[in-house]
Chain A
Amino acid sequence: MFESSNSKGVETWRKKIAGRFESKDQYLIPALQYIQGQEGYLPPEAMEAAARHLRMPKSKVFGVASFYAQFNFKPQGRHKITICRGTACHVRGSARLLAKVEENLGVHAGETTEDMSFTLETVACFGACALAPVAVVDGKVSGNQTVSKLKQSISDARAMDSGKPGHKSTVRIAGNRASKKNVNRQTSRKSSGRKGRK
């Protein structure tokens, strides 16, 4: 059946991807990581471009991308807060921590605030149980978290933003892109051994 898509966007992305990766299956995940590194998430036209360049069905690209927890399909906030919900953190009160942050930001875990400033996420175990409860703010891991410490981090981040909402603020480019890479590396390492397809 006929579909129409944003062909200009696809072509722009295809050129970017083709300039960096050979047209071989094994470059799918690196290409997706590159896209997410640029955009913070995987826009549909960029995934389509990856499919084009690698000459594979776009359904397969989406299949692979949706398998991994590290990939996002929606635009992400300028700041990312990840709260660990592993056993040790749970025992040390991470459920309450999460509830309070949700209340503070006005979003549920997995969502982004309307002004695009915060994305709130959970992780099943961060692997730093001795520091429980653990939270990660913009790639910075901090242990022995409390509600007030987290609230402080949130207001610090807000202060760091020049008050301008929208995706392309300088704060994001200066501070966030580098740190996002950290988060990606860590979550991907953790997720590989933990989860498998049924």
Chain B
Amino acid sequence: MAKVTLTIDGKTVQAEEGSTVLEAASAADIDIPTLCYAKDLEPYGGCRMCIVKVEGIRGMPPSCTTRVAEGMKVTTEDDEILQARRMVLRLLMADHPSDCLSCPANLECELQALTKKLGVREHGLIHLDRQATLDESHPVFIRDMKRCILCAKCVRTCNEVVGAGAIGLINRGHRAEPAPFLGTGIKFSNCESCGECVEHCPTGALYYREPGPEPDYEVSTICPYCGTGCGLVLGVNKGKVIRAKGDPDNPINQGHLCVKGRFGSYEFVNHPDRLKTPLVRKDGELVEASWDEALDLVVQRFKESKGDKFAALASAKEPNEDNYIMQKFARAVMKTNSVDHCARLCHASTVAGLAASFGSGAMTNSIEDMEQAEVVLVTGSNTTENHPIIGNRLRHAIDKGTKLILFDPRDIPLAGKAVIWCRQRPGTDVAWINGLMHVIIEEGLADLDYVRERCEGFEAVEELVKSYTPERVSKITGVPAQDLVEAAKLYASGKPATIIYSMGITQHTTGTDNVKSLANLAMLCGNMGKPGGGVNPLRGQNNVQGACDVGGLPNVYSGYQKVTDPAARKKFEEAWHTDLPAEAGLTITEILEAAEKGEVKALYIMGENPMLSDPDVTHVEKALKATEFLVVQDIFLTETARLADVVLPAVTFAERDGTFTNTERRVQRLHQVIPPLSGCRKDWEIICDIATRMGYPMSYESESEIQDEIAELTPSYGGITYDRLDRGDQLAWPCPTKDHPGTPILHTKKFTRGKGKFFAIEYISADELPDKDFPMVLTTGRILEHFHTGTMTRKSKSLHALVPGPYVEIHPADARHYKIRDGEKVRVSSRRGSIELIAKVGRVDRGLIFIPFHFFEAAANVLTNPAVDPVAKIPEYKVCAARLEKSA
């Protein structure tokens, strides 16, 4: 960027072309007062506090909206300017309540600070209090618009940063105020409860119901929820974590947070229900035991169950180090490869599909990169609810001109931003993707040079998609043919265009097919290996990428080195000084089947809750009860832990160091915020203790030492060390050496597997289709306010207040047909079970119902179909036949 030179208060200042006078002054340590300015918002020029004088310009322009120019001469303060600023303050004070002493923003209020600084004690005008709304509808914060100074920071944040647009400025003149649609209470609007508006409010107009004490100290770490990997700054008061703020230095969230990050990320840490002592089952009851007693029992029983009689579940919520230790324990000590985790249930088809197409089963581009895309195709991802910060950045990109194509049967928040929104029937994804390719090839929009040069297997696809005419696809998917044609043309027009998908694509019996089809589409338009392009699966959990990377899977060691490859096996045998099993182990679904049959006798579950997360939980319960010896290591007594023979209390993310690998393959550092609660131990320490007691000594000084071992054995993690991460290096794998900068974009010069491979794939219908007895299609998923099995989010007072319990979304026409009113109790049944919950009318398509799976009291997975994808073994959570009726 070119620099311009200007003079501010006689000082010569260099500033970037296009920057504002306010920014230039602030860079030169010249203070200009503001009320409506915020670094992360577009210049607004609303409050008139930052007015300055510029030679040659009439009047006093606001410095926040005035761009710098060569040779500009600026005066930021003189008597006239001060007088004008004081007048602005007096006018604001004239309709502002003078209740500072009882105001929640007292001493933190920017208006108050400025009146003091500029010496305005009284406004000297006729006082006229604002007749404005007091909105107490929201459980977490209060909107007292009497204290509003109309800086519009809340409105601008909600629109520019978050992209929710829940509030706007309504009315005119003295009655103007920020308010939601129709001026209702904020709780009843499309507010996403992220709290960004409260954080931005300069006065006491927006404030938290329970502001909490000031922290004694703060530590930055990584959020434990979704795969976005936002930086958190946790505040600690008297040894307890009491608040979370966004980490402004983290490049992903840049200081912003979603509702779960802000309110739900710490409340569970010091929750009274935390497990603080081991529990051992005696006479059918779980009773407290000492660590020695519990571990001795575990060791004795594990010794009897070596080999195929043992299986372990690693965890997508735990750091890389613990997952690495868990799989090492299973393989080196227990001599089995039967170690798996819930990645099987979310993105196993991604790992299988993208590895087959490209050679690497992960997000190909970075989150930041997405903003460079001209066109974004989102499918099977309710991004703004399940990866809110990525969703916000996506909405920001759309506002700046990126065009959105959405394929989703539900009316998710992104639908309002889409240029084309297609509601496909669940389970028909291969058909519409083939349909798009049909149109792109027919219209001559394919990038055939790219296909010829970089890919193979195209001819078969070209032949196959000939029969997928828009008319035929429309019949299968329910999407109008015209929309399919337009979507295809729009996707092909994007140079580059990116694809973002998630579990709506993967959780099908055709999950791997769906993923490969998206890979076909991206290669067809030459979108791979380019900034702003790619195929980007958003991973559901904070460390699901990492747990896979470090070998928490039955067929691979860390770095996806195959257990069946003798060279790889030899390498690990030498490093671990023991012999290792040569056969691939069982997957989660297979482990539970084997447990039910009595083949797996001992099961070690770390930080997972299959009693809520796995399909057909009635069956899961049978399997876990049939397991002779079940050890569960967790932070709370989960539904799964209640069935255990031994329960071991672990620590939360806030009590430890470690690394999480986020959805874009970026390895990020966790920092210990508080010491482990008394009685709790780190997962890797517990596993090492068990291993050592079993005669295989495992001991590490710290997490850093474990990471060094991972780096040594894992080529893609080879250059990642705690030293580098602590220095602030942003490392996305592959990062093979200590001087490697990481790889934000994959497949740039050639695909990992050499040539990108096209797969010709026919559409196959879902495993279970609606029929006379079960006429509805049930689909399941997550919601904004809760996470996974609710073990953490349901312990949060704020999140619980926002969404206290289970519900089912029903289309208005279906609601009329079944005579069900919004808020009424209904019964939903499938071939596997039945649950009762509250009806919410809206959002889904006709014939479809949606149930979030977070709630044990009406577990969606009582109903879901355990049929799995033949390749990836991922269950079909997204489609099953169900019946809806009014509760008796």
- Write the residues of chain A forming the contact surface with B, with a CB cutoff of 8 angstroms: 1-8, 44, 47-48, 51-52, 55-64, 66-67, 73, 195-198
Contacts and interface: CB of A to CB of B under 8 A. Distances in A.
Given A1-B189, A7-B411, A59 B417 contact: no
Given A59-B166, A59-B181, A60-B165, A4 B842 contact: yes
A197 B187 contact: no
B842 A3 contact: yes
A58 B158 CA distance: 13
Interface stretch (B167-175, B500-508, B522-530): B167-175
B188 A3 contact: yes
Contacts, number: 97
Interface stretch (B190-198, B334-342, B635-643, B743-751): B190-198
8 contacts: A2-B783, A44-B182, A61-B181, A63-B168, A63-B169, A63-B170, A195-B172, A197-B169
A56 B783 CA distance: 23
Interface string B143-180: 00000001000000001000011111111111010011
Nearest to B188: A3
Nearest to A6: B812
A4 B417 CA distance: 18
Interface in B812-828: 812-813, 822
Contact of B812 (A3, A8, A47, A48): A8
Given A4-B842, A7-B812, A60-B168, A195 B173 contact: yes
A59 B173 contact: no
Of A4, A5, A56, A59, which is in contact with the most chain B CB atoms at under 10 Å from its CB? Answer: A59
A67 B192 CA distance: 25
B842 A7 contact: yes
B172 A62 contact: no
B666 interface: no
A1 B192 contact: yes
A55 B417 contact: yes
B841 A3 contact: no
B417 A1 contact: no
A67 B841 CA distance: 32
A52 B418 CA distance: 9
A44 B165 CA distance: 16
Contact of A59 (B171, B189, B813, B842): B189
A62 B170 contact: yes
A71 to B, nearest CB: 11
B822 A4 contact: yes
Contacts of A61: 181
Of A61, A62, A67, A73, which is in contact with the most chain B CB atoms at under 10 Å from its CB? Answer: A62
Contacts of A198: 150, 172-174, 176
B751 to A, nearest CB: 36
B171 A67 contact: yes
B183 interface: yes
B883 interface: no
Contacts of B785: 1
A5 B173 contact: no
A59 B843 contact: no
Contacts of A6: 812
B840 A4 contact: yes
Interface in B394-445: 411, 416-419
Nearest to A44: B182
B114 interface: no
A58 B803 CA distance: 23
Contacts of B170: 62-63, 66-67
B780 to A, nearest CB: 16
B802 interface: yes
Given A3-B190, A55-B418, 5 more contacts: A1-B189, A59-B168, A59-B189, A62-B183, A198-B176
B416 A52 contact: yes
| Closest A-B pairs by Cβ, 4 of them | A57-B165, A63-B168, A4-B842, A59-B168
A151 B191 CA distance: 48
B173 A197 contact: yes
B840 A2 contact: yes
A66 B180 CA distance: 12
A1 B168 contact: no
A5 B812 CA distance: 9
Contacts of A44: 181-182
A197 B172 contact: yes
A52 B689 CA distance: 59
B688 to A, nearest CB: 44
B487 to A, nearest CB: 16
A62 B167 CA distance: 9
B78 to A, nearest CB: 27
A20 B812 CA distance: 27
Contacts of A5: 842
Contacts of B419: 55
Nearest to A48: B181
A132 B419 CA distance: 52
Contacts of B416: 51-52, 55, 57
Of A6, A58, A61, A196, which is in contact with the most chain B CB atoms at under 10 Å from its CB? Answer: A58
Contact of A1 (B181, B190, B813, B822): B190
A67 B173 CA distance: 9
B408 to A, nearest CB: 15
B181 A62 contact: yes
Interface string B827-868: 000000000000011110000000000000000000000000
A7 B822 CA distance: 14
Given A1-B192, A7-B812, A56 B165 contact: yes
A170 to B, nearest CB: 31
Contacts of B417: 55
Given A1-B190, A7-B411, A44-B182, A59 B802 contact: no
Contacts of B169: 63, 197
Given A1-B189, A1-B802, A59 B176 contact: no
Contacts of B191: 1
